């Protein structure tokens, strides 16, 4: 039935299209959709019908070739054999050719959808038949299935070509590439499905060169990425899964010299060759180069040899694209890097890897790649950047860094030097030539330094006595590079230029905004002279030239090659003075010394000194028993100080008066000086000197960032000043100062020598003094040192100095408060209360013996609370802000009580201190029977009432309950238990009573009284909640069911008091729910629990019914508009008293809404409304004078008097009499001349009477 239905539907759709074609000769877009659907249903009907016909053929007709020997024909649940796949394949071929004929020959394929359906149908059938066909083929890829997959893939791609639509072809050709991968996922894993990719690749290559695709070159190029990606996945799977390639009866295993991955690689090369020449598959050579490390050994030997022949051809070919050449060369170098590391890992026994390369090919490949790249660079077939990238990848391989013959790295280093010399010996006329030459020498020096640092440029000159491992040849290379720079004909770009150039090149990049999810292009740069761009003025000076920094680093590496014993006991360290002198010389010869130049010099000195410092310190700490200070240690530290002292003298000349970017560079200089100081080997000579220099600059120029970093450096220095061979130990050993300066103390959790604590304390006091001075004389640039950090540094420094430090934190906190007050730094007072809690604990513990942990905490809270209340008093009197500066005007945004700069922020700080102090006093639970907690709770109640703090007042019952519960702990013979629960219960009843009686405290209320009614509602809500919690707390041990009954009854009583208040109805339902839940979980008596639950349900039902009645649900009727239009007899004129209006009411007559009155409030206040002057004998006789009303106003008044609300949608709702009467009373007591009364409902279900301006009178 499915087959017949599908074919019938397809025939109907195609018939519609055919009728359109024959009658009108043109097809619309709609007909293209209909035709596409027709082809889809044709495929579905055909294949479902074939499935049925195959069952008939195999059964009644006994066509044995359709059945499988393992599955003889059966009446039910029978499936054919592999012959069924062939039947489907032939049918799909016929259907595809028929679709092509109808679309192409009959010229009905005018749209894209029909062609897309025709081209994709073969692939859809393969996906639908994925599991079915595999099952029919007994779990593998049979010949029938393989031929079908290849044939249908070719069919789909051919139809895509015939469609003359590049998008259709691109989609189906990518689908064809991934189809073997999809089938391999459900295959038996032998590789038979992936083997089909060989045939598909050749078919794709033939179809890619067809003339129909000439106009769609760009789209086909993009699609080629998908083809190559699929081939790479197949190669990786072949190699990683040890799969076998099946080409008919021929099998190619992974260990074969021509493995499956290698055959796929070769197929890609041969099959796409012509398409690559036509520039339609540009990703093929790139993918082949990248895939080289995916080929298993030994077959990868062949692919590497082919690649070494292919790359020169690609680079030479005149019409090859530049990006293809560059990417192919870099990918080949990357593939060699990966394969070489696999070979190295396997050679040292780290495991078995697939892509190893054997000798001598592993040594030929890097030399060949470098030779080919150099040749291509010289004939301008590859850019310098691409060649340098490939060269770096080659050098990073183990063949260069680890395994190579010692002559190969040296030969490569000589080559790099020759290339650098050649590039710098030619005069550069343009900026591009300067960049190329500078990048060349940068690459050469970086790679040479890398080889030297990994020990590949070492030569053991044992015949020369006294060298002690010193690398003399590397020193010669360093000197050679230095001379190249000195004799250079090129105005070399320095590291600052490269940095600025990189920033400039990224200025116009697309930026993703994570907040909006939008990609935006930054503002385009203004046009500039290509020979004089803006970044060219941002160099760092000659000291940052590559030919200065590089040779100095090489020299440092050659010096660090001296063995540790030679460095420590010899005079090799003196050689370090050479690079230090060079740096100083380069700085002094500059006419205008930039801040960046100083920073570069310091950091270069750091990098040069680092390896020697590591060796010296490693030797010192491994020989800690030695007590003699070595001459090499002194020499090293003196050399470290040589440059920085000169720099410091230059910086004292006002260098910090520069612009912002120079300040950043000077910060880098100071950070570099700290780093240099940490290389100290004498235990303090270099570090203390440089620390004092940096500390001086930090305080003098109020550098907040350096304040943090300088302090942190003290922790890093740790206990090194106390080492046995250190300079300080030589001076103070066996003296009284040894204990006070060199013994170990603690800065927080870090062990340090006590002299470090003295330094930290001195720095902290200097910073605090500067902060106070800045308060007296504010700086123009508004730079400030961090006060809190300074205080913390003083704290931990004094901690490391003092032997007994129990009172340290308490004393220091008080001192810091005084200093902060004098400095006008209000941020200290925000943290002071909490710090005092911590500070009092060790002091109290050391003063009073026998205090329990609870008493210790309570006394800390009590004393801290008293101090905090005192600070609050000082803030309220203004004394706390005496030195805080002038009050700033208010600003938008969040209030910051930490800075307390505006009047509102200072008031906030005062309230914060006040309530924090009260909180601390309340938390002093264990002192004097909890009296502090009780007093604090009572004071909060009194003060919140006095100040009109509504929210705090509503929370005071919680304080009362906890205060009494805490006091109850100290008395065991009380006649009543659970005082806290009873207190909460009493407060709940009191709140409920006050709410019911509309208690009106003399607080500040808004003019319309809305906030009062909100407070009154919340008072009642909290009363119910407090009562429920209190009764549960006080009586739950006695009877949980009794608690449930009381809660339910109390909630019902609250509703009965005023059923019109929505919050009371909500509380009633909530009380019933809570009571029912308590009864549900109470297991004392199931019968009584059930009774209570029924009572809770009935209460909730009644309250819900009352709520619905409030809305009129079930009590109102909907009538048509025309049914209620009737006349009302006017019997008397009733004057309406004017309501009390605010001062702004008369001034804003243009407002759309004049007044909105909640009916609940009108009911509560109606007794205060003056009586009308004239009355009729009966209430029903009251009418309004509508003689001066407009027609619209008259109609609306008639509706309201009759209790009808117009919905505005053609119907009117008739209200129940209670609601209608309240609305009439409100209308009678309001003067609304010039306005039209309106009735609506708010979100709480309350009726609202409002007035809109009568526009018909204007």
952 pLDDT more than 90: no
271 pLDDT more than 60: yes
Maximum mean pLDDT: which of 460-464, 586-590, 604-608, 979-983: 604-608
1116 in Cβ contact with 1214 (< 8 Å): yes
Report the pLDDT value the prediction gives residue 337, as an integer from 0 to 100: 93
Instruction: Show the CA angle centred on residue 249, arms to residues 248 and 255, nearest 5°.
Output: 100
- Of residues 213 and 498, the one with the higher pLDDT is 498
Query: What three-state secondary structure class fits 1214?
Result: strand
Query: What three-state secondary structure class fits 585?
Result: helix
Read off the pLDDT of each residue in 447-462 and give the average, rounded to a whole number.
Answer: 75
312 pLDDT more than 90: yes
Between CA 774 and CA 772 the distance in angstroms is 5
158 in Cβ contact with 149 (< 8 Å): no
Residue carrying structure tokens 């043109």 = 26
Alpha helices in 466-622 (DSSP H): 472-486, 495-505, 546-560, 564-569, 577-588, 595-622
Query: 560 to each of 354, 553, 644, 687, 1227, how far by Cα in Å?
Result: 39, 10, 22, 22, 100
160 in Cβ contact with 119 (< 8 Å): yes
- Taking the domains of the chain in order of start, what are their residue ranges? 405-507+539-562, 563-803, 822-926, 1117-1257
Of 603, 615, 592, the C-alpha closest to 644 is 603
Read off the pLDDT of each residue in 272-278 and give the average, rounded to a whole number.
Answer: 89
Burial class (CB in 10 A: 0-12, 13-18, 19+), 742: buried
Minimum mean pLDDT range among 172-176, 759-763, 799-803: 799-803
What's the pLDDT band for 197 if we cut at 50, 70, 90?
very high
How large is the C-alpha radius of gyration of the chain? 46
Maximum mean pLDDT: which of 412-426, 461-475, 971-985: 412-426
Query: What three-state secondary structure class fits 323?
Result: helix
What's the pLDDT band for 968 if we cut at 50, 70, 90?
confident
Report the pLDDT value the prediction gives residue 373, as an integer from 0 to 100: 92
DSSP state of 71: B
869 in Cβ contact with 914 (< 8 Å): yes
Between CA 175 and CA 727 the distance in angstroms is 76
Per the DSSP assignment, residues forming a β-bridge with 1120 are: 1211
Residue carrying structure tokens 């509706």 = 1199
Between CA 163 and CA 112 the distance in angstroms is 8
Across the chain, how many H-helices and E-strands are there? 48, 12
Minimum mean pLDDT range among 66-80, 244-258, 499-513: 66-80
Between CA 1018 and CA 39 the distance in angstroms is 70
Between CA 1025 and CA 84 the distance in angstroms is 76
Per the DSSP assignment, residues forming a β-bridge with 1249 are: 1157, 1239
Half-sphere exposure of 524 (CA within 13 A, CB side): 3
End-to-end Cα separation, the chain, in angstroms = 75
Helix (H) or strand (E) holding 408: helix 407-425
Report the pLDDT value the prediction gives residue 27, as an integer from 0 to 100: 57
What's the pLDDT band for 464 if we cut at 50, 70, 90?
low
In sequence order, the 6+-apart residues with CB closer than 8 A to the CB of 801 are 745, 754, 757, 758, 761
1122 pLDDT more than 50: no
1229 in Cβ contact with 1155 (< 8 Å): no
What's the pLDDT band for 652 if we cut at 50, 70, 90?
low
Report the pLDDT value the prediction gives residue 1157, as an integer from 0 to 100: 37
Of 503, 460, 495, the C-alpha closest to 607 is 495
Report the pLDDT value the prediction gives residue 1199, as an integer from 0 to 100: 83
Read off the pLDDT of each residue in 862-882 and give the average, rounded to a whole number.
Answer: 86
> Percentage of residues in the chain with pLDDT exceeding 90?
14
Minimum mean pLDDT range among 160-169, 948-957, 1096-1105, 1114-1123: 1114-1123
Between CA 963 and CA 940 the distance in angstroms is 12
At 1024-1068, the pLDDT tens digits run: 778 777 777 776 555 555 566 666 666 666 665 566 565 566 666
What's the pLDDT band for 836 if we cut at 50, 70, 90?
confident
Q: Are strands 1211-1214 and 1153-1158 parallel, antiparallel or unpaired?
A: unpaired
Q: What's the token pair of residue 123?
A: 């692939």
Residue carrying structure tokens 């209000």 = 826
Report the pLDDT value the prediction gives residue 36, as an integer from 0 to 100: 65
963 in Cβ contact with 934 (< 8 Å): yes
- Of residues 914 and 969, the one with the higher pLDDT is 914
Report the pLDDT value the prediction gives residue 198, as an integer from 0 to 100: 93
Report the pLDDT value the prediction gives residue 50, as an integer from 0 to 100: 66
1188 pLDDT more than 50: yes
Greatest CA span in the chain, whole angstroms? 137
Compute how many other C-beta atoms are within 10 angstroms of the C-beta atom of residue 200. 25
Between CA 297 and CA 289 the distance in angstroms is 16
Residue 657: alpha-carbon gap to chain centroid: 39
Residue 893: alpha-carbon gap to chain centroid: 25
Residue carrying structure tokens 């055909």 = 46
Query: 612 to each of 149, 543, 574, 635, 972, how far by Cα in Å?
Result: 67, 22, 11, 12, 75
49 in Cβ contact with 74 (< 8 Å): no
- Of residues 112 and 115, the one with the higher pLDDT is 115
At 623-649, the pLDDT tens digits run: 877 778 888 999 999 998 887 776 666
836 in Cβ contact with 855 (< 8 Å): no
Per the DSSP assignment, residues forming a β-bridge with 518 are: 513
At 1006-1025, the pLDDT tens digits run: 877 778 877 887 787 788 77
Read off the pLDDT of each residue in 153-164 and give the average, rounded to a whole number.
Answer: 87
What's the pLDDT band for 328 if we cut at 50, 70, 90?
very high
At 516-554, the pLDDT tens digits run: 445 455 555 556 666 778 778 888 888 888 889 989 988
900 in Cβ contact with 826 (< 8 Å): yes
Maximum mean pLDDT: which of 57-66, 293-302, 557-566: 293-302
Between CA 1200 and CA 1230 the distance in angstroms is 14
Residue 1048: alpha-carbon gap to chain centroid: 50
Q: What's the token pair of residue 1056?
A: 């009965």
Q: What's the token pair of residue 441?
A: 């020498």
> Percentage of residues in the chain with pLDDT exceeding 70?
74
At 1209-1255, the pLDDT tens digits run: 666 777 777 778 878 888 887 777 778 888 876 655 566 788 888 77
Report helix, strand and coil shares of the chain as percent, to nearest 5: 65, 5, 30
Report the pLDDT value the prediction gives residue 565, as an integer from 0 to 100: 83
1156 pLDDT more than 50: no
What's the pLDDT band for 332 if we cut at 50, 70, 90?
very high
7 pLDDT more than 80: no
1168 pLDDT more than 50: no
Read off the pLDDT of each residue in 254-260 and give the average, rounded to a whole number.
Answer: 84
At 924-948, the pLDDT tens digits run: 877 777 788 888 888 888 888 888 8
Half-sphere exposure of 709 (CA within 13 A, CB side): 19
398 in Cβ contact with 341 (< 8 Å): yes
Between CA 398 and CA 457 the distance in angstroms is 14
Read off the pLDDT of each residue in 486-505 and give the average, rounded to a whole number.
Answer: 82
619 pLDDT more than 80: yes
In the predicted model, what is the mean pLDDT of the chain? 77
In sequence order, the 6+-apart residues with CB closer than 8 A to the CB of 308 are 364, 365, 368, 369, 372
Strand order in the sheet with 1235-1241: 1153-1158, 1247-1253, 1235-1241
Helices 472-486 & 431-453, crossing angle to 10 degrees?
170
Report the pLDDT value the prediction gives residue 1181, as an integer from 0 to 100: 47
Q: What's the token pair of residue 920?
A: 């601390």
Between CA 682 and CA 190 the distance in angstroms is 68
Half-sphere exposure of 149 (CA within 13 A, CB side): 33
Q: What's the token pair of residue 688?
A: 């203390």
In sequence order, the 6+-apart residues with CB closer than 8 A to the CB of 235 are 261, 264, 265, 291, 294, 295
Q: What's the token pair of residue 612?
A: 């020697």
722 pLDDT more than 70: yes
């Amino acid at each position: 039935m499915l087959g017949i239905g599908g074919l019938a539907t397809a025939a109907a759709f195609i018939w519609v299209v055919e009728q359109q074609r024959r009658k009108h000769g043109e097809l619309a877009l709609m007909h293209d959709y209909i035709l596409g659907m027709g082809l889809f249903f044709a495929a579905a009907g055909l294949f479902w019908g074939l499935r049925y016909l195959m069952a008939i053929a195999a059964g009644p007709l006994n066509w044995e070739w359709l059945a499988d020997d393992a599955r003889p024909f059966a009446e039910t649940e029978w499936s054919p054999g592999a012959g069924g796949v062939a039947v489907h394949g032939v049918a799909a071929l016929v259907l595809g050719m028929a679709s092509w004929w109808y679309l192409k020959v009959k010229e009905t394929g005018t749209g894209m959808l029909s062609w897309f359906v025709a081209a994709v149908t073969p692939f859809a059938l393969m996906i639908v038949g994925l599991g079915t066909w595999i099952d029919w083929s007994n779990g593998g890829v049979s010949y029938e299935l393989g031929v079908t997959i290849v044939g249908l893939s070719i069919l789909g791609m051919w139809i895509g070509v015939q469609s003359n639509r590049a998008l259709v072809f691109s989609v189906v050709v990518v689908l064809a590439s991934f189809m073997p991968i999809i089938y391999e996922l459900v295959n038996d894993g032998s590789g038979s499905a992936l083997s089909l990719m060989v045939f598909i690749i050749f078919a794709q290559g033939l179809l890619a060169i067809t003339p129909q695709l000439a106009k769609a070159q760009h789209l086909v190029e993009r699609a080629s990425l998908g083809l190559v990606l699929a081939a790479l996945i197949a190669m990786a799977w072949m190699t990683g899964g040890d799969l076998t390639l099946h080409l008919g009866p021929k099998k190619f295993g992974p260990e074969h010299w021509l493995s499956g991955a290698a055959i796929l690689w070769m197929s890609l090369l041969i099959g796409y060759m012509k398409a690559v020449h036509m520039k339609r598959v540009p990703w093929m050579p790139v993918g082949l180069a990248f895939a080289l490390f995916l080929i298993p050994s030994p077959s990868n030997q062949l692919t590497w040899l082919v690649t070494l022949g292919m790359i020169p051809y690609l680079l030479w070919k005149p019409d090859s694209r530049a990006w293809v050449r560059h990417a192919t060369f870099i990918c080949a170098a990357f593939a060699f890097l990966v394969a070489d590391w696999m070979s190295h890992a396997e050679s040292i026994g780290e495991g078995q890897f697939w892509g190893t390369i054997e000798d001598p090919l592993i040594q030929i490949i890097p030399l060949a790649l470098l030779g080919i790249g150099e040749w291509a660079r010289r004939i301008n077939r590859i850019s310098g950047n691409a060649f340098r990238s490939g060269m770096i990848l080659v050098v990073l391989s183990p063949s260069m860094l680890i395994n190579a013959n010692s002559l190969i790295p040296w030969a490569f280093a000589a080559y790099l030097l020759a290339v650098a010399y050649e590039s710098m010996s030619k005069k550069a006329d343009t900026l591009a030539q300067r960049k190329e030459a500078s990048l060349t020498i940068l690459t050469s020096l970086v790679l040479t330094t890398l080889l030297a640092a990994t020990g590949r440029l070492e030569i053991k000159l044992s015949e020369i006595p006294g060298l002690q491992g010193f690398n003399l040849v590397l020193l010669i290379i360093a000197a050679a590079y230095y001379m190249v720079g000195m004799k250079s004909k090129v105005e070399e770009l320095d590291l600052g230029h490269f940095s600025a150039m990189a920033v400039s090149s990224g200025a116009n990049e697309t930026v993703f905004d994570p907040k909006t999810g939008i990609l935006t292009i930054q503002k385009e740069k203004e046009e500039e002279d290509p020979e004089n761009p803006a970044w060219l003025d941002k160099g760092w000076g000659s000291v940052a030239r590559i030919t200065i920094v590089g040779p100095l680093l090489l020299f440092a590496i050659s010096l660090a090659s001296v063995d540790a014993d030679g460095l420590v006991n010899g005079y090799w360290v003196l050689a370090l003075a050479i690079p230090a002198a060079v740096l100083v010389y380069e700085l002094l010869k500059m006419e205008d010394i930039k801040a960046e130049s100083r920073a570069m010099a310091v950091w270069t000195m750091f990098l040069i000194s680092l390896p020697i410092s590591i060796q010296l310190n490693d030797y010192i700490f491994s020989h800690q028993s030695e007590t003699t200070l070595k001459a090499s240690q002194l020499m090293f530290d003196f050399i470290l100080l040589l440059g920085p002292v000169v720099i410091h003298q230059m910086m004292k000349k006002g260098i910090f008066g520069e612009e912002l970017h120079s300040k950043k560079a000077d910060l880098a200089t100071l950070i570099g000086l700290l780093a240099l100081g940490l290389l100290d080997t004498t235990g303090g000579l270099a570090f203390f000197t440089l620390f004092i220099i940096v500390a001086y600059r930090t305080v003098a120029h109020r550098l907040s960032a350096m304040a943090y970093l300088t302090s942190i450096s003290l922790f890093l220095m740790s206990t090194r000043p106390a080492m046995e061979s250190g300079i300080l130990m030589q001076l103070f050993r066996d003296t009284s100062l040894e204990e006070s300066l060199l013994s170990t103390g603690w800065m927080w959790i870090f062990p340090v020598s006590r002299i470090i604590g003295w330094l930290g304390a001195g720095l902290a006091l200097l910073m605090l003094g500067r902060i106070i001075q800045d308060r007296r004389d504010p700086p123009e640039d508004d730079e400030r040192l961090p006060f809190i950090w300074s205080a913390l540094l003083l704290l931990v420094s004094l901690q490391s100095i003092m032997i007994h430090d129990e009172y340290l934190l308490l004393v220091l906190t008080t001192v810091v408060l005084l200093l902060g007050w004098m400095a006008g730094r209000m941020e200290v007072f925000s943290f002071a209360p909490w710090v005092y809690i911590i500070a009092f604990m060790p002091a109290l513990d050391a003063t009073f013996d026998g205090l329990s942990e609870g008493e210790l905490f309570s006394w800390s809270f009590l004393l801290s609370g008293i101090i905090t209340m005192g600070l609050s008093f000082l803030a309220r009197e203004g004394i706390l802000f005496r030195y805080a500066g002038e009050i700033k005007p208010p600003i938008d945004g969040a209030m910051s009580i930490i800075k307390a700069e505006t009047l509102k922020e200072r008031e906030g700080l005062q309230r914060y201190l006040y309530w924090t102090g009260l909180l601390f006093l309340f938390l002093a639970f264990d002192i004097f029977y909890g009296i502090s907690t009780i007093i604090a709770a009572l004071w909060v109640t009194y003060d919140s009432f006095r100040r009109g703090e509504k929210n705090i007042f509503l929370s005071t019952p919680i304080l009362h309950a906890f205060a009494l519960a805490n006091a109850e702990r100290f008395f065991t013979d009380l006649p009543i238990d659970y005082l806290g629960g009873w207190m909460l219960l009493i407060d709940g009843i009191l709140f409920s009573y006050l709410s019911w009686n509309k208690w009106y405290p003399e607080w500040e209320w808004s003019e319309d009284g809305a906030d009062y009614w909100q407070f009154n509602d919340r008072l009642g809500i909290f009363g119910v909640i407090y009562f429920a919690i209190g009764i549960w707390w006080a009586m739950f041990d006695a009877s949980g069911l009794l608690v449930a009954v009381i809660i339910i009854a109390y909630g019902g009583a609250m509703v009965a008091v005023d059923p019109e208040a929505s919050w009371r109805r909500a509380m009633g339902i909530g009380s019933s729910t809570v009571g029912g839940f308590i009864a549900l979980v109470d297991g004392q008596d199931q019968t009584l629990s059930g009774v209570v639950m029924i009572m809770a349900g009935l209460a909730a039902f009644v309250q819900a019914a009352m709520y619905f009645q409030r809305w009129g649900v079930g009590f109102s009727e909907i009538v048509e508009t025309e049914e209620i239009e009737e006349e009302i007899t006017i019997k008397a004129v009733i004057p309406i008293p004017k309501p009390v209006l605010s001062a702004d009411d008369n001034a804003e007559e243009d407002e759309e809404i004049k007044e909105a009155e909640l009916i609940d409030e009108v009911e509560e206040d109606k007794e205060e409304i003056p009586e009308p002057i004239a009355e009729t004998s009966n209430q029903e006789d009251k009418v309004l004078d509508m003689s001066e009303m407009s027609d619209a106003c008259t109609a609306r008044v008639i509706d309201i008097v009759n209790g009808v609300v117009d919905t505005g949608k053609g119907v009117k709702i008739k209200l129940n009499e209670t609601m209608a009467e309240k609305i009439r009373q409100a209308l009678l007591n309001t003067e609304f001349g010039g306005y039209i009364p309106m009735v609506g409902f708010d979100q709480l279900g309350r009726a609202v009477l409002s007035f809109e301006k009568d526009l018909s009178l204007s």
